[in-house]
Chains A and B, each alone.
Chain A
Amino acid sequence: MLQSLVHVCLAGISAGMFIWLVASGLTLVFGVLRVLNFAHGSFYMLGAYLCFAVLKAMGGNFWLGLLLGPLIVSVVGYVMERYLLRLVYHLELPYQLLLTFAMVLIFDDLVKMIWGAGSIGSPAVPGLSGSVSIAGREFPVYNLFIIAVGPLVALGLYGLLEKTWWGRIVRASASDREMALSIGVNVPLLYSGVFMFGAWLSAVGGALAVPYVGLLTTGMGEAIIISAFIVVVIGGLGSLKGAFLGSLIVGLLSSFGTRFMPMLDMFLTFGLMAAVLLWRPQGFFAEG
């Protein structure tokens, strides 16, 4: 029983870390640009496919794919922000949401056109394959690596936002756009930068998922964006700390749910999202 609990926890945490990588970008973009981006899950998917493509082209080196794939995605993110999203900031919410939804449709079909509609397999990672014994049962090393990456990204984000000049500018623009503009911050450029960074984070998640999920499908973007929505709602829209804790909660909830009450798993997760929205719409972990 105990060993099973430990493993359910570990599986939940590693699943939560993928959600965190998507949710962190999502909530960062929402905090600064005030746009909830449906296509953020598509960046995750694109990150995975591009990592796979680079890896295939460069002779099977996963780390090169992890480096280059997300970089290409952030360029895609730049194009989307600069030439599409920028045109709708002044419009009402439905138009903004629907524009990003249109991008989901476009990205999905582009990926299908380029890589085919079926799912494609993915290779093992050199250096991180195999498994170790934890509490009397085997656990993949790669999943431990993921569990380590999540908090590292969180620490990095914290340092970047709280301790650097850039972070101060980003936080200032998030809290008051007009004021930031009037003291000479290049807000449009900043928006592009934040959006690119968010897209990059999500794509890193996707690239890291390549060895983890085993199979790449175009549906992986839609699956994770809904989890990420739940997470940013639970944590409070725009709160990074909330998104991190929310990711852990959703990851654990779904792994425990799948293990112990598979009938109620999805219902409970969405029930939690609805409950938070009703009683604490600013999120569980938002300050104030």
Chain B
Amino acid sequence: MNQYWKYFLMLGCLGALVGIGFVSGPFVLYLATRIMILSIFALGYNLLLGRTGLLSFGHAAFFATGAYGLAITSIHISAHPLLGILIGVAAAALLSLCIGFFCVRHTEIYFAMLTLAFGMMVFALIWNLRSITGGDDGLYGISRTAISLGIVKIPIRNDYQFYFFVLFFFMVSVFLINRIYSSPFGLVLAGIRENHIRAEFSGLSVKAYRLGVFTVSGAFAGLAGSLSALLESNVAPFSAHWTHSAEPVLVSLIGGLQTFSGPVVGSVIFVALREVLQRFTYNWMLWFGVLLLAIIIGFRGGVVGSISEAFRRYSRP
């Protein structure tokens, strides 16, 4: 696929997203907003998993940090959404920098276990510090007040207004992560995934790069968290639980780990399929498990990877 097709496709997607914002009913808008938030989470996460080859079970903690950061700001300091998001993302980035500092000393299974341990420590704090986080009740009553930018005020209260608000952040995230993929930093990450010893020998500080990507992906998790707090108008402690960390993993895997758009496609499939399955059966997790098995055993490229592989094979002769 050449460059023009890519731009064409991206413009088409953007057009479709804008179109959805104008014509859809509240339910579709809600789903589409959730898909975009999950996409931000998974795109950031896949920088770590797909690009650098590190499996983290602690990213729910950063998601929750973003959500609680926004919620606490909005309840105690100011309900300005941008300030809340700023604080949420900053808190998530800072926390992932601190946790990452320790985690990047290990790789493979030890890295996964360490992120699990730290993530669950954050969960334990959120669960137990009732006076700040509301304990198992979580925090609620987060209002979507208008964004005041000096003289103009942009309302985000309505579903479609908020949809465009999230769309803005989604586009910014896609742009930033795309830039990271093609930057020297992003290329080094892929090099580390392929052979970290060789990367070390070429004089690169592998740990510093790992810490860098860990923090970046933590910040995007925080952004997704604060947006979801605005969407749902509440935050719950289980958003920090390790089982929630599995969500971006599933999404990236369904879409395709080694592709840029994989997490976005995976998010669409994940949210849409879950809605459909829940109509027919209570046991939607069973079908996700089966889907996951099929992808791991048969289609490790994920949906995007498998389709582009088929496309390449078809167009070659």
Contacts and interface: CB of A to CB of B under 8 A. Distances in A.
B25 interface: no
A36 B300 contact: no
A106 B282 CA distance: 13
Given A99-B297, A264-B128, 9 more contacts: A87-B297, A95-B300, A97-B109, A109-B285, A110-B286, A222-B243, A229-B116, A277-B110, A277-B114
B270 interface: no
A270 B120 contact: yes
Contacts of A278: 102, 105, 114
Interface stretch (B12-20, B158-166, B288-296): B288-296
Nearest to B297: A87
A261 to B, nearest CB: 10
4 smallest beta-carbon distances between A and B, as pairs: A109-B286, A105-B289, A106-B289, A102-B292
Given A93-B55, A95-B300, A105 B288 contact: yes
Contacts of A23: none
Interface in A204-245: 222, 226, 229-230, 233, 237
Interface of B: 49, 53, 55, 102, 105-106, 108-110, 112-114, 116-118, 120-121, 123-125, 127-128, 242-243, 246, 249-250, 253, 257, 282-286, 288-290, 292-293, 296-297, 300
Contacts of A95: 296, 300
A89 to B, nearest CB: 12
A233 B116 CA distance: 12
Contacts of B110: 277, 281
Interface residues of A, number: 41
5 contacts: A87-B297, A266-B127, A266-B128, A277-B114, A278-B102
Interface of A, helix, strand, loop or mixed by DSSP: helix
Given A105-B286, A106-B289, A93 B243 contact: no
A92 B300 CA distance: 11
Contacts of A237: 109
Contact of A266 (B116, B124, B292): B124
Contacts of A267: 121, 124-125, 128
